[in-house]
Chains A and B, each alone.
Chain A
């Protein structure tokens, strides 16, 4: 009967302190590694890239980094939380339009109207819902809070009704389509298919000036690093563990006394906020926001980058998003028209053969070392258990 007995409390008290030590130690080591990683990333983004790249390429990189911000959010919502968010373009668009509306109004000057409204000529004065965006104090927080509020409302409805899996993905994608249709339909106040274009200034700075473009790049790089730090904290917190638990077994979590709907809601809202911020920064970097940039196709492209990089890791989504966006530019320059097929192929290959993304290859290489270490530890634990057992009869 003593073979693999869960030891009664009296006999098993000895090994506890020895086993409580390792997590904190490895926690310290991982913190150090993270600090080094962040320093390396900062050096790369703030020193190497501006020196090595032309102004044109740097502006492209700024655009990729915006996509990477969306990817960080998708990594949390999809990679850690299991929600396949195929409609992040909605939140990206809300953030982008909020920023672009403010910049258009700032370009037009006090009391002025954006150029396209005069062009279509049906409006005598600014629509009511445009007015608050004249103030930066409203517009800037709105770029993040508006998407978050929208995600909160939507998520509350959807998660409580236990909509998940493919249904959730289809729903979020339909939403992206709906937003595009709405924007195009309201051409007089939204710019329609053209979107909000030809944005000149960014809080008093001329966006045509390369120096200012560079500053925008630095802002974007800094924000991306900050979002990564936030994501890292989230992933390693108790909430992050709980989120993975919800992803893997929602029912079980419910039986532990949590409400999985609110756990998922937080991840979804955070991802929406990140997408909104990315959209807001995309506008000064590229100078335009339009329905074509936020619809179904871009929404899927956001997800492809995350899938390629490795959705459940911290850096995978970022590197994947940048790599896919870069590959898209490079390949469309050389072989116009083939990118769409290559992108589809890439997605199929990753989903079919490498569900963990490229990060899985990296983890595979590392697991070999860790695996050895773990089996060693396992053996020593077994030895200790044996020793305990030997003690029991004599005691």
Chain B
């Protein structure tokens, strides 16, 4: 129940910020989050992408993208197929070579190998489920939790369930399935397990590539609630095609088109942007189709 109120409160706030510039909204966000939740040990950092370019053999997939994701945000990246959303995430996580600058907090990410970027607290999921199907749920989480384990620890057997793994199991609601083979989980549960793996990995920036694709309505709701729980002490970036999901759970949106940022702002701002209507939605949207929740 508590998420519901928090969410409608968040939604109610958005139209009020209509007139604000991006910068004031961002700085407000940065101050607000740590004080509200009193997080002391886990630092909240924002993501800052400046003029990032990725090209493959002459084809420029990402063409000078700059965006700022404030700490604690739930940022949705949307855009038509081929807009460069996944490639941008690939660049941030070190999977493809890119020029420009990507900073998380004060750490530059570009130029580091994938596993080092991951150790700085950047976690991602993929469009296809990439859990370890031959291992149990708890083994999946335990491996995710162990990125900094010494070889001596690795050589020993796991005894019981580590605290952070137990906590993640609760958060993602799979406590009762801890010993089940991950490959036998339902589709939605696999996605939650992926998110759980990012949590125990201590990722402070979560990059999720289409987390609700193929999910039922109930599973989408649950995933949204999970994202809101998670974003209390983390920054979340979601690539998503599902517009209903976006309207309900996005705190801010960046629209990419042909490798560039087309528009950025709240859901309402982006939906009202005529360029977005033209390019992304394919036709202008009349006022009546904006969900009533956004106007509250």
Contacts and interface: CB of A to CB of B under 8 A. Distances in A.
Interface of A: 1, 3-9, 12-13, 15-16, 19-20, 22-24, 27, 233-234, 236-239, 241-242, 244-245, 248-249, 251-259, 374, 377-378, 381-382, 384-385
Top 3 A-B pairs, shortest CB-CB distance = A257-B147, A381-B176, A6-B173
Given A9-B171, A15-B175, A236-B157, A258 B147 contact: yes
Interface stretch (B79-87, B131-139, B288-296): B131-139
B149 A238 contact: yes
A360 to B, nearest CB: 13
Given A16-B175, A242-B143, A256-B143, A249 B132 contact: yes
Nearest to A17: B166
Contacts of A20: 160-161, 166, 178
Nearest to B178: A19
Main secondary structure of the interface of A (DSSP, over half): helix
Contacts of A251: 130
Contact of A8 (B3, B130, B177): B3
A384 B176 contact: yes
A6 B172 contact: yes
A4 B174 CA distance: 10
Given A6-B173, A15-B175, A252-B130, A259 B154 contact: no
Nearest to B184: A374
B148 interface: yes
Contacts of B161: 19-20, 23
Contacts of B216: 4
Given A255-B123, A256-B143, A374-B180, A6 B192 contact: yes
Nearest to B225: A5
Contacts of B114: 254-255
Contact of B170 (A4, A7, A237): A7
Interface string B194-237: 00010001000000000000001011011101100100000000
Interface string B245-261: 00000000000000000
A302 B252 CA distance: 58
B229 A4 contact: no
B40 interface: no
Nearest to B119: A257
Nearest to A312: B134
27 contacts: A4-B188, A4-B222, A5-B173, A6-B172, A6-B173, A6-B222, A8-B2, A8-B225, A12-B173, A16-B166, A20-B166, A23-B178, A24-B159, A238-B153, A238-B158, A239-B151, A239-B155, A241-B142, A245-B135, A248-B135, A254-B115, A255-B115, A255-B124, A256-B201, A257-B201, A381-B177, A384-B176
A3 B218 contact: yes
B115 A257 contact: yes
B169 interface: yes
In this complex, the member of B140, B157, B172, B216 whose beta carbon has the largest number of chain A beta carbons within 10 angstroms is B157
A337 B140 CA distance: 49
A243 B32 CA distance: 42
Nearest to A255: B118
A242 B156 CA distance: 12
B93 A255 contact: yes
A5 B115 contact: no
A16 B170 contact: yes
B146 interface: yes
B157 A13 contact: no
A206 B177 CA distance: 60
A1 B228 CA distance: 14
Contacts of B169: 16, 19
Contacts of A6: 171-174, 192, 222-223, 225-226
B218 A257 contact: no
Contacts of B175: 12, 15-16, 19
Contacts of A1: 4, 218, 221-222, 225
A155 B59 CA distance: 35
Contacts of B138: 23
Contacts of A239: 151, 154-155
Contacts of B218: 1, 3-5
A254 B177 CA distance: 25
A256 B176 contact: no
